[in-house]
Amino acid sequence: MNQSVLLIFLPIITSLIIYSFKNKLILSFIFINQIILSIIAYNTYFNVLENGEYKIVFGGYSNVIGIQIRVDMLASAFIILAVIIWWAVLLYSLEKIKKDHTFGFFLLFLEGVFLGFIQANDFFTVFVFIELITILATILIVYKKDGHSIRAGFYYLLFNSTGMMFYLLGLALLYRTTGTLNIELSQQILPKLNMNFGVQLAYVLMVASLGVKSAFFPVYNWLPKAHGAAPSSISALLSGLLVKSGVYAFIRIGLAFDTAILNDFFLYIGLLTSLGGTIFAISQKDLKQLLAFSTISQMGIMIIGVSTLSGYGFIGGVYHMFSHAFFKAILFLSSGYIIVNAKERRVTEIRGVFKTYPGMSILMILGLLSMVGFPMFGGYISKDIVKYSVKDFGLAYFLFSIANIGTIIYTLKIMQIFRGEKKEYKKDFKVYIGLLILTIPSILLGLNPLFIESIFRVRLVGFFGEFNFRYILEFLGYFGFGFIIYKIYVENEHPIFKKLRHFNITFETSVFMLIGFVFSMIVYIYI
C-alpha cells in the first residue's frame, strides 16, 4: 500500500525540492528518487507476480464512490517501463536540468502523475490524471518558447482537451447508468445491462477521446506537430510512454464493457492508422517528423493487436507497446542529440554520423532493426504475434504486410545519415548511458518473451523457441521489395512525396474529423 502511494508522491515531492532549492547538490535527489522508484517497481512486480493484484481505496470510503488504485501484472509491468524510460530521459537531460531546475521540476512531476495514472482504477481518476499529463506535457512541449513550439503545444492542448470533453460526457452517461465510476464494479454491472444504447454511447464517447490521446486514424494530426516542436527528451517521453496512455486506458476501459461489436472496427482503424503513418513517414525529410509519423504507424500495429482485448493478438499488441517504447525512445534521444550538434534536421543533409558517433550509431541501428522487426530484435516477436492474429483476415494480413514494407522504406531513408566523413561534434557520455539503459531491455525483449509471458501467465509457443529461417526469408523478401521501391521512388523523391510532406490539416478540420470518428462508431454499431 505505502509503496503504491510512494510511487506517485515521491517524484512529485522530489520535483518540489528541486524547484524550491536551486542548488547543484539538489540534483542528487534525482538519482535518489529514481533508485528508490526502481526498487519499489521491482518489488511491486515480483510481489504481484507471487501474490496477485492488490487494491487500495483512499479516505476510508467504499470502492463504489472512493478513489481506488489497483496494481495487477499489467500495471506493475508498465510501472517498470515508465521508471526505465524516465531514467534514460533524466540522464539525457541532466545538463539542461543543471542550468534550469524548472525543467527538472516538470519532468519529475510528470513522472509521478503518470505512475498515478497507471494505477488508477476508477474512470474519474483516470480522467484527472490524463488531464494533468496533458497540461504538463504541453508545458514541456512549449518549453523552448519559440513560435513553432508554442503553436504545436497549444494545438496539442486544445485538441486533446476537446477529446477529453467527449470522455467526460461518456463518464456522465456511465455513472447515470451504473451508479459507480469504479472500473472493476462497472465490469460486473455492465454485462447485465446488455450494452443498451446509453452504455454503448458512453463507450463510444470515451474511446473517441482515447483515440485522440493515442493518435488513432483519423485524429492523429496533433502528434507530428507536437513531436517535431518538442525537445528531443520530451519527444522520447511522448512517443515512448505518453502516447500509449490512450491505449492503456483503452484496454482498462474496454475490459469493463462488452466491446465485441467494435472489434473489427478497431482492427481496420489500426490498419488505416499504420498505413497512414507509414505513407507520411516515407514522405518526410525532417528526421524528427519522420520518427513522429513512424510512431503513428507503430501505434496502428498496437491498435490492431489490442482491438479484440483477448487472445494472442492482444498479447502481441501489449508486447509491441513495450518494444516500441524502448526502440523509439532510443531513436528520438539519439536523433535529437545528432540534430543539436549537426545543426541540421534533414535526413538528406545529415552525414557522417557513424564515423562521428560510432557507439551511438550502433545503438541507433539496433533501434532501427527493432523497428523493422528484424529477427532476434525487439519488435520482431511482437509484430509476428500481431500478424499471426490477422492471418485469417485476408485484406488485413495484406495491408499489415504493406505497412511492414513501408517501415523498411522509411528506415532506409533514416540510415543514409550514417554515410559520410567524420565531423567534429560534442560528445556527452551521460547520453550514452541513457541509451544503453534503453537498449538492454529492447534486446532482451527480442531474445526472450519471458517478461511478457509473466504478465499474461502464458507460454508464447510457436512465436519463439527454435530459431526459424522463415523469419529471415520473410524479412529478406520484405527488405528486397522495400529496397527497390526506395531506390526508384523515394531516393529520387517522386513528386507525390513532396505534396504529402506539405499536406496540412487545420484545427477546425481535425475537430470535424473527431466528430466524424464518433459518428462512424455509432453508425458501425447499428448497421
Residue 466 has pLDDT above 50, yes or no: no
| Dihedral in degrees, nearest 10, Cα atoms 78, 404, 373, 480 | -170
> Hey, how many other C-beta atoms are within 10 angstroms of the C-beta on 234?
29
Phi, psi (5° rounding) for residue 255?
-70, -15
Residue 389 has pLDDT above 50, yes or no: yes
Q: Which of 504, 507, 503, 506 is nearest to 159 (CA)?
A: 507
By the 10 Å C-beta count (0-12 exposed, 13-18 middle, 19+ buried), 200 is classed as: buried
Q: Alpha-carbon distance 55 to 183, whole Å? A: 12
Q: Alpha-carbon distance 26 to 521, whole Å? A: 51
- Name the residue type at position 88: A
pLDDT value at residue 147: 83
Beta bridge partners of 331: none
Q: Which three cell numbers stand for residue 445?
A: 525483449
Sign, CA torsion 140/143/144/147: positive
* Candidate from 127-131, 318-322, 327-331, 466-470 with smallest mean pLDDT: 466-470
**3-state SS string over 501-513?**
HCCCCCHHHHHHH
Q: Are strands 68-71 and 54-57 parallel, antiparallel or unpaired?
A: antiparallel
pLDDT, mean over the chain: 89
State the DSSP code for 489.
I
- Name, in order, each residue with C-beta under 8 angstroms of 294's C-beta and a sequence gap of 6 or more: 277, 278, 281, 328, 371, 407, 410
Give the three-state DSSP class for 181. coil
pLDDT value at residue 465: 43
- Reading phi first (left if > 0) and then psi (alpha if -120 to 50, else beta), residue 204 is in alpha
Decide: 352 and 421 in contact? Cβ < 8 Å. yes
Cell 524479412 locates to 475
| pTM of the model as a whole | 0.94
Decide: 302 and 251 in contact? Cβ < 8 Å. no
Decide: 222 and 146 in contact? Cβ < 8 Å. no
Cell 460526457 locates to 169
Task: Give mean pLDDT, residues 98-111.
Answer: 92
Task: Give mean pLDDT, residues 390-404.
Answer: 89
pLDDT value at residue 469: 67
Task: Give mean pLDDT, residues 515-527.
Answer: 89
pLDDT value at residue 312: 87
The HSE-up count of residue 54 (CA atoms within 13 Å, CB side) is 15
> Hey, how many other C-beta atoms are within 10 angstroms of the C-beta on 84?
22
Q: Alpha-carbon distance 321 to 305, whole Å? A: 10
Residue 463 has pLDDT above 60, yes or no: no
pLDDT value at residue 412: 95
Residue 79 has pLDDT above 60, yes or no: yes
* Candidate from 34-38, 138-142, 205-209, 387-391 with smallest mean pLDDT: 387-391
The 10s digit of each residue's pLDDT in 2-27 is 788 899 999 999 999 988 887 777 77
Beta bridge partners of 29: none
Decide: 274 and 396 in contact? Cβ < 8 Å. no
Give the three-state DSSP class for 310. coil
State the DSSP code for 144.
G
State the DSSP code for 286.
B
- Name the residue type at position 284: Q
Q: Which of 134, 392, 409 is nearest to 297 (CA)?
A: 409
Q: Which three cell numbers stand for residue 262?
A: 467494435
**3-state SS string over 410-470?**
HHHHHHHHHCCCCCCCCCCHHHHHHHHHHHHHHHHHHHCCHHHHHHHCCCCECCECCCCHH
The HSE-up count of residue 375 (CA atoms within 13 Å, CB side) is 16
Task: Give mean pLDDT, residues 358-378.
Answer: 89
Task: Give mean pLDDT, residues 287-311.
Answer: 92
Task: Give mean pLDDT, residues 482-501.
Answer: 90
- Name the residue type at position 100: D
- Name the residue type at position 65: I
The HSE-up count of residue 414 (CA atoms within 13 Å, CB side) is 31
- Name, in order, each residue with C-beta under 8 angstroms of 167's C-beta and a sequence gap of 6 or more: 127, 130, 205, 206, 209, 210
- Name, in order, each residue with C-beta under 8 angstroms of 158's C-beta and a sequence gap of 6 or more: 507
By the 10 Å C-beta count (0-12 exposed, 13-18 middle, 19+ buried), 133 is classed as: buried
pLDDT value at residue 439: 92
**3-state SS string over 31-61?**
HHHHHHHHHHHHHHHHHHHHHCCEEEEHHHC
Percentage of the chain exceeding pLDDT 70? 96
The 10s digit of each residue's pLDDT in 150-206 is 999 999 999 999 999 999 999 999 999 888 899 989 888 888 777 788 888 999 999
Distances (CA, A) of 467 to 314, 384, 462, 463: 23, 13, 10, 9
- 441 preceded by a cis bond (ω within 30 of 0): no
pLDDT value at residue 425: 67
pLDDT value at residue 342: 87
Q: 79-83: which pairs have CB atoms within 8 A and are 24 or more residues apart?
A: 79/7, 79/41, 79/44, 79/45, 79/115, 79/118, 79/119, 80/41, 80/42, 80/45, 81/241, 81/322, 81/325, 82/111, 82/114, 82/115, 82/118, 82/241, 83/34, 83/37, 83/38, 83/41
Residue 423 has pLDDT above 80, yes or no: no
Cell 512486480 locates to 45
Q: Alpha-carbon distance 392 to 396, whole Å? A: 8
Residue 467 has pLDDT above 50, yes or no: no
Distance of CA 367 to the CA centre of its chain: 15
The 10s digit of each residue's pLDDT in 246-291 is 999 999 998 888 677 788 899 999 999 999 999 999 999 999 999 9
